[in-house]
């Protein structure tokens, strides 16, 4: 999974003003000025090369399905438009899924479905955004790699990434790179 994160730990609405305004969040799109294609682009390219499925929550799927279908011509856009998408939602129906290929995964089935996908040979199951899904995967210890793009901005509040369940989870830093815009691209893997 990958997430854009502010220095104060906020991951809410990095991509646009209307992406997620819940809780009166007014900084949507905060991540855009910090994108560095030379440092961050290869990370996304690797995801496209190795990813065989995309797992998203309802809101992330709806935002992405409005943005990505009209883009093409780079490896990530071509990958994301063609990859099998699994949408975690208890409110959407199969008919609501217009950005295909896509299938519904009900919340109660999330851990079983991800365990099933992880058991298949092949590439990655990729997650971005989708905070409820990410927290559930952390709680179930189903995170193999976490890519944080820590950006040089504080937002003073908003949704954060990690579960607040009192559990300690150790990670090892696998790599780190600094972009020309000051973003720290850090790859973490679970430790022991």
* Non-local CB neighbours of 164 within 8 Å, separated by 6+ positions: none
Q: What is the pLDDT of residues 17-35, one digit of tens each?
A: 989 999 999 999 999 999 9
Residue 42: per-residue pLDDT: 94
**Count H helices, E strands: the chain?**
5, 8
Tokens in use for 140? Answer: 């179930």
Q: 75: pLDDT confidence band, cut at 50, 70 and 90? A: confident
Give, as one character, the DSSP assignment of residue 29. T
pLDDT digits (tens, 9 = 90+) for 129-142: 899 999 999 999 99
Spatial separation of the C-alpha atoms in residues 72 and 61, rounded to whole Å: 18
């Amino acid at each position: 999974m990958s997430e854009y994160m502010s220095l104060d730990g906020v991951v809410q609405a990095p991509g646009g003003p209307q992406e997620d305004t819940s809780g009166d969040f007014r900084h949507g799109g905060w991540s855009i000025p910090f994108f560095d294609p030379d440092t961050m682009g290869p990370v996304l390219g690797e995801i496209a090369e190795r990813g065989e499925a995309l797992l998203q929550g309802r809101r992330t799927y709806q935002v992405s399905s409005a943005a990505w279908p009209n883009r093409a011509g780079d490896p990530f856009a071509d990958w994301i438009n063609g990859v099998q998408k699994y949408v975690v939602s208890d409110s959407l129906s199969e008919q609501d899924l217009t950005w295909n290929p896509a299938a519904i995964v009900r919340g109660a089935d999330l851990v079983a479905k991800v365990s099933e996908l992880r058991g298949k040979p092949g590439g990655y199951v990729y997650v971005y955004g989708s905070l409820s899904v990410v927290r559930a995967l952390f709680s179930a210890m189903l995170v193999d790699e976490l890519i944080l793009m820590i950006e040089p901005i504080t937002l003073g509040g908003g949704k954060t990434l990690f579960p607040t369940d009192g559990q300690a989870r150790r990670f090892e830093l696998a790599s780190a790179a600094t972009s020309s815009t000051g973003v720290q691209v850090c790859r973490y893997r679970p430790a022991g």
